[in-house]
Amino acid sequence: MARTRAAYEYTEAEDKSMRLGFLLIAAGLLSLLGLGCCWLRPALQERGGGGSANCTVLAVRQLGERFACTFSCGAACRGTARYPCLQVLVRTSRSSAPALLHEDERQLRTTPKCSYIPPCARDDQENSENVTYKQKYWKEKVGSQPFTCYFNQHLRPDDVMLKRTHDETVLLHCFLWPVVTFLVGVLIVVLTICAKSLAVRAEAIKKKKH
């Protein structure tokens, strides 16, 4: 029994390999748990109440109201500027009522009254020019051409989004890499145990022959 126990004692290299395997297993499980609770579950909930539709622009307008944004001009330099509120009203294939278009879910939560948030510049005039350019884009380049938009009943059913924040690719990577890490850890542990077992058996067979 003492000889068998001694034969199954792992070398320093095998011990490091086992520790690495268990570390990867723990990292994979913790990553999957953390992403599932903090990011993946809310993302799936958002997608669960949504769908896609065909949208057509009805009207593009600027409101008199202006919103504040924060710009950065260096490591310790920050300030506040303002930009006009642009609204893009569309008609969807799922409803005849006008709907307000937004860039994505984040923009909908940040400024639910507006359809576009320009990159915040220090000069208010530059922000206004960026919004005007976007207004011309929707009026002249898009016009009456239909395009794909997305809606979500959990957020605001009367609003639509131009793109989704959480698409299938992001959700796949969110789930895939923790699972790959977990499986690599399991593979390292299993291979180390199998290699040790084969080495012990080979040593036992060698002693029997002698």
Mean pLDDT (the chain, rounded): 80
Whether residue 29 lies inside any domain: the answer is: no
- Six-digit token string for 65: 């109201």
How many CB atoms are located within 10 Å of the residue 182 CB? Answer: 19
Whether residue 30 lies inside any domain: the answer is: no
Domain with 78, as residue range(s), is 49-165
pLDDT at residue number 108: 84
Residue at token pair 């793109």: 163
Whether residue 53 lies inside any domain: the answer is: yes
pLDDT at residue number 109: 82
- The tens digit of pLDDT for each residue in 108-145 reads 888 889 999 899 888 899 999 999 999 999 988 888 88
Prediction pTM value: 0.58
The answer to whether 48 touches 151, Cβ cutoff 8 Å, is: no
Q: Which residue has the higher pLDDT, 79 or 37?
A: 79
Domain count for the chain: 1
